[in-house]
Structure 1
């Protein structure tokens, strides 16, 4: 946008957050300004993504409000300059800043249309298709219905596990269900996002973008499997369309088999240790 000199310093209401605004209220404020939570996603160098937020600042002796896009990775905050905003209210300036971020390709979304220059805008999207926007909204991450169904089925089989943790703490790969003792990591893959051979259908809108995006997801899956296998982890991938109990049985069999092998290995190690002790 074109900068313009201001005769007076902008009012606090144009940029400053209300006092006592809770973390939940701040998230809702950002979601509303961006259009939806998915419109706030920022691409990371390793192929992952993070949720971004707009920060509005007014220099102590300045007369212009500047917007910055911020996100956090492993507790470290990253920031990029977005641009100058010039509306009368904080909500309008947040909305303007998100439009600028989308237009400058600072986020994973692409601007679907030219939105108004003030007020809260309609949701931006990865593509201009309402169907694609629906898919994006359905990608809610942890605790989806398929995940809950799978975890419930595994629990009924008598197994205990950890949820949403990194099998290898130093590597940014989070498994949906993890069995630390057995070293088994379970990933529940969405049919759309991971290219299910049975149910995935190529996107007709913005097809080049989606082809590249899904190819990247598949390559990341292969890399994840390789990284875990190198550390002697077993990776089990379950498609979201699979029957939960059948998938749970597959997981349970693998976990119990690995624990049994570990037990046998421990018995052998003890026998060897005793034999070596007797020989001295």
Structure 2
């Protein structure tokens, strides 16, 4: 117990406790999917399961990522002082933390239904595989996009016991959004990644990186907007989409010169895009229901 108490600040650093942006990027589309799946308020039980589960799985993913990238991160100034990379926390201990967090998330999933439990195994597998795809796949951000979108089909499975076509459209749109904002993130470390030999979407897109990010944002807004239109979510959804589009235009100004600080600032602000679009759909659903 004394050992755990002494290491607790390192555990918090490992799971990015002080950087909740990643959790919010996962949470907003997942909660929006819950509302859409339920056709309204999904109940406190499912809200608690998916909110806590999102936090736990994102934290576990950070721990696994740091172990997988420990030899890479020491060559990148931004990540060199992470607990595993710096040697402050053994890799085995970080994996133990990840296992405990994933187990807690699984316990939460067990309170839903069999379909959701089965989907959770896929979510875990993709989350573990993602860090290693940087070694051989030219677009690892797409794998992250799948991992960060798993909450959508799981939300529909938890509410409806199945995953309808609507969920797949939302997943596709969300995947485009994830690749867009994680490419902004990759643009921050592009010079370091080129030296190390890591593959990222920022490197793959090359001089078309900014254009690709904007097109991916447009695809995300178009797909989610089409879903909102199909469901008749009206003006609240339209306002949410316009608020999201306005932020995307601001992001263009931040990343067009490929300045590291601007790209990182754009990445960190992305949860506001997800909140605007998701909240617009939820409010549109509530308005439609009344």
For normalisation by structure 1, the TM-score amounts to 0.29
Looking at CA atoms only, which structure, 1 or 2, has the larger radius of gyration?
Answer: 1
Q: Which has the higher helix share?
A: 2
Larger strand share, 1 or 2: 1
Q: Point out which structure has higher relative CO (alpha carbons under 8 A, 6+ apart).
A: 2
TM-score (norm 2): 0.29
